[in-house]
Amino acid sequence: MNRAIYAGSFDPITNGHVHIAKCGLEDFDLIIIAIATNFGKKHQFSASQRIILAEDAFKEYDNIVIQNWQYAICPLWARMNNSRILIRGIRNIEDEKYEEKLAKWNHFFGVQNQYYQTTDELREVSSSRVRKSINTKKWEQAVDLVPNAALLHTMV
């Protein structure tokens, strides 16, 4: 089976993340969404909440699996899950520069990055933008950025 890993904190998952995963389905039979727990970062949503949000976003897809990922280095975790491909989303030039550095690291472990670009409509969508909208009580700004605004709202 041709599988890829799409790893990130997804704090919370956005329409941009969903778009990238769907693009990946054109090239892979199975995508594992790896919800990362970064102990050096304060997450707005718990790992279990982020998993629930991701499962809800992809509930219609049998070929997308959501898993919790912690402790292991990402390319090693990919290999432990029988994949040598990491899906990465590109929104802008800053993402490209960051991904270039990350690709060198992943290549060292025998893992390749597969890049997908967002649409123009999704270029400015980010988890940090959603969190900022929520934290400043501007909920209406977050609604169009996430696949499951009603569910997300119950977690705030």
Residue 92 Cα distances to 11, 21, 48, angstroms: 20, 18, 30
The domain tally of the chain equals: 1
pLDDT of residue 138: 82
DSSP, collapsed to helix, strand or coil, labels residue 10 as coil
Tell me the pTM.
0.92
**Residues whose CB falls within 8 Å of the CB of residue 72, separated by 6 or more in sequence, listed in order:** 80
Q: Structural domain of residue 62, as residue ranges? A: 3-155
Q: Report pLDDT digits (tens) over 12-62.
A: 999 999 999 999 999 999 999 999 987 777 899 999 999 999 999 999 999
CATH of the domain at 91: 3.40.50.620
* 156: confidence class by pLDDT, cuts 50, 70, 90: low
Sign of the CA dihedral with 124 first, then 57, 20, and 45 last: positive
